[in-house]
Amino acid sequence: MSVPENWRLRAQRYRLVGEVCDKCGAKIFPPRDVCPECEVTAKTPFTFSGRGEVYSYSTVYHAPEGYEEFAPYTVALIKLDEGPMVTAQLTDVDKEDVSVGMAVEMVTRKIHGGGTEDPITYGYKFRPSAKEAAEKSRSRG
């Protein structure tokens, strides 16, 4: 992962900044500058809440180069509360405890361990929603 690429993507990687369409109000992530709903130019920044739910998930055992330190890790499609879907790793959760529909929230973590030429990369991952976890523990207690 190159230094300039990571610099260009810093707003979306660190803060989940996407876009909102001024015409139809669609929230867009990852940013794509053209609204996928009404196909007009959409460049107004929009910061997502980071809340969403698991749409699908899988566990990676044989990690690609640079991701070995995280293996095995769970990856997921996250349906964000504002509408779009995002691909990311789950963290702070055992794979046995993941389910479709589970509420999650964004956190910033190391996403790539770096290499001889590349620096360590940070970005979004998702963990079980703290609010949901608190409610669960209350209902148990």
Binding site for another protein (CB under 8 A): 1, 5, 9, 30, 36, 55-65, 67, 70, 73, 75-77, 84-89, 100, 111-112, 121, 123
Nearer to another protein, 49 or 56 (CB): 56
Task: Work out how close the CB of 22 gets to another protein at its nearest, in angstroms, rounded to a whole number.
Answer: 20
Task: Work out how close the CB of 137 gets to another protein at its nearest, in angstroms, rounded to a whole number.
Answer: 26
Nearer to another protein, 10 or 131 (CB): 10
Taking the C-alpha atoms of residue 125 and residue 16, their distance in angstroms, rounded to an integer, is 10
Which amino acid, residue 104? V
Task: Work out how close the CB of 100 gets to another protein at its nearest, in angstroms, rounded to a whole number.
Answer: 5
Task: Work out how close the CB of 69 gets to another protein at its nearest, in angstroms, rounded to a whole number.
Answer: 10
Which amino acid, residue 40? V
Contact 14, 108 (CB under 8 A): yes
Nearer to another protein, 85 or 134 (CB): 85
On the question of a cis peptide bond just before residue 36, with omega within 30 degrees of 0, the verdict is no
Nearer to another protein, 121 or 129 (CB): 121
Nearer to another protein, 8 or 131 (CB): 8
Residue where the block lists tokens 């260009």: 8
Task: Work out how close the CB of 102 gets to another protein at its nearest, in angstroms, rounded to a whole number.
Answer: 12
Taking the C-alpha atoms of residue 131 and residue 43, their distance in angstroms, rounded to an integer, is 32
Please give the biggest Cα pair distance in the chain: 51
Taking the C-alpha atoms of residue 68 and residue 72, their distance in angstroms, rounded to an integer, is 8
